[in-house]
Amino acid sequence: MDKQFDVVIVGTGVAGLYGALKYPEDVSVLLLSKKELTLSNSSFAQGGVAAVLDKNHDNYKLHIADTLIAGKYKNNLSAVEKLVTEGPDDVLKLKELGVDFDRDKDGNLLATLEGGHCRNRIVHHKDSTGKEIVDKLLLDVEAKKNITIWDNALVYSIDKVEHGFYLGVMRNGEEYSIGTSYCVLATGGIGRVYKYTTNSAIATGDGITFAYMLGANIKHLSRVQFHPTAFDSKSDRERFLISEAVRGEGAILLNHDGRRFMFDYDERGELAPRDVVSHAIMEEQKKTGSSNFYLDITAKDPEFVKNRFPMIYSRCLEKGIDITKDWIPIYPCQHYLMGGINVDLDARTSVDRLYACGECSHTGVHGANRLASNSLLEALVFSRRAAIDITDRLHKGGKKPLGEEPDNKNIAGEKLPTGIRTRIREIMQDTYFVIPNLDNVDNAYEEVKDILNKLNNTNYEITPDFVEARSLATVAKIILEEIKEGINL
């Protein structure tokens, strides 16, 4: 063993960073980031954080009701209640930590409206809220003496022992064996299992795969959310999001003829939940025979649009679209995962001493569909609860010897063939998009299962490419297995 810590947190999005700050100074913490520290889905989050802060015009019951409606009443009500009632204090804590939420001229936090919400309750930093939160949390984490941060650190193995875990980590060409009493997986989503996604390059389902390999319960992985308004760039696999907040500020959806169509499908129009809007777009495509769709915010004052959405304005301008004058080409795209590693209200998995929080976890708060801007709130609430629970266990139970370290893994082997990840993405895009192609599920499942068997039973060299290919194949297999068994349909 090269190093030992009380807690290892895998992932440096909001869940990993905020959770790390909640450990007292007598608890040693290692934060591992697969690539650069700021590369996470959290950093990509645009809209904001949903929280009931203005109790004169909003209340917990309304936020709970909106979450349940969006989630098709398949939510874990206890988890939703924790999310909604505890979340506002965590949001205010972010403000104390220096997060620069937008304010009105009197200094009050500005709250906007997004799809599925009945009140203005989303606090934000222009249209780059996630980046602002991550950047400020990083400053606080880096100042903590009990927290060690490793960037460009790829976890390639996690082994369970009697009183903890040993992690195999590659960093800067070196291999390390890291011992820890508790392991927290905060590894984000699975977007890279799809051909087109709004997710960052790290979102390959690694944490879910490690938990699965350790025997943890994985639940509702087929509950994948497709955001209706990703920028329709035909050449880019990673597509930037046109935030829900753009529709919240009055943008309308148009079909290829320039006709507003959402009220044909739902009385809430553009402010219906994401899955409803995505399905409406696909139905409208069937009706019109065109896949060209647009978001139009040109009716709003240009200066307001530029100030409210500077990042979106800039990114679209790079693509030749001036959103103050032009319609924005959009199309549904893989965006978020509602399922994941099943956890309780303290983020405990079914494997002792293994925790999960953020997008890789399944708390049940989202049900079958995530309500806009509940994800950052979930990351805050349940990473904090995990830290409190782990700290309590450490203080009550003491720090015990981990147990015998596994033999060193031989990472040498055959070179991984090219094209495996590309093929998995094609299968998932063709089989399980907004409206699933159920006729293709059996063949897709058998092909993915064969790919995973070959990865697991061939002596391939352990490289970042191999780790991610194994993760994508594992995630795809679980999703297709659930669909075959009718778990989520």
**Residue 202: what pLDDT?**
87
Burial of 474 (0-12, 13-18, 19+ CB in 10 A): buried
**CA–CA separation, 10 and 186 (whole Å):** 6
Identified catalytic residue from 121, 223, 247, 274: 274
Q: How far is CA 81 from the centre of its chain?
A: 20
Q: What is the pLDDT of residue 487?
A: 57
Domains belonging to the chain, first-starting first, are 3-223+338-397 (3.50.50.60), 232-332 (3.90.700.10), 420-484 (no CATH)
CA angle 209, 210, 216 (to 5 degrees): 90
Distance CA 70, CA 391 (A): 34
Q: What share of the chain is helix, strand, coil (3-state, %, to 5)?
A: 40, 20, 40
Per the CB < 8 A criterion, the answer to whether 219 and 258 are in contact is no
- Which helix (H) or strand (E) segment holds residue 50: the answer is strand 49-50
The segments of the chain whose pLDDT lies below 70 read: 1, 41-45, 487-489
pLDDT of residue 410: 84
**Rounded CA gap, 300 and 248, in Å?**
12
> 164 - beta bridge partners?
161
Euclidean distance between CA atoms 68 and 74, whole angstroms: 7
**Is 87 within 8 Å of 98 (Cβ atoms)?**
no
pLDDT value, residue 40: 72
Structure tokens at 193: 């299992």
The total number of residues shown for the chain amounts to 489
Specify the pLDDT at position 489: 47
Q: Give the pLDDT of residue 459.
A: 95
Query: 161: number of CA atoms within 13 Å, CB side?
Result: 18
Q: How confident is the model at residue 41, as a pLDDT? A: 63
114 near 372, Cβ under 8 Å? yes
Q: Give counts: helices (H), strands (E), the chain.
A: 14, 17
Q: Is residue 274 flagged as an active site residue?
A: yes
Q: What is the pLDDT of residues 388-400, one digit of tens each?
A: 999 999 999 888 8
Q: Beta strands 252-254 and 153-161: pairing type?
A: unpaired
What pLDDT score was predicted for residue 1? Answer: 66
Per-residue confidence (pLDDT) for residue 245, from 0 to 100: 85
Backbone angles phi, psi at 145, to 5 degrees: -70, -25
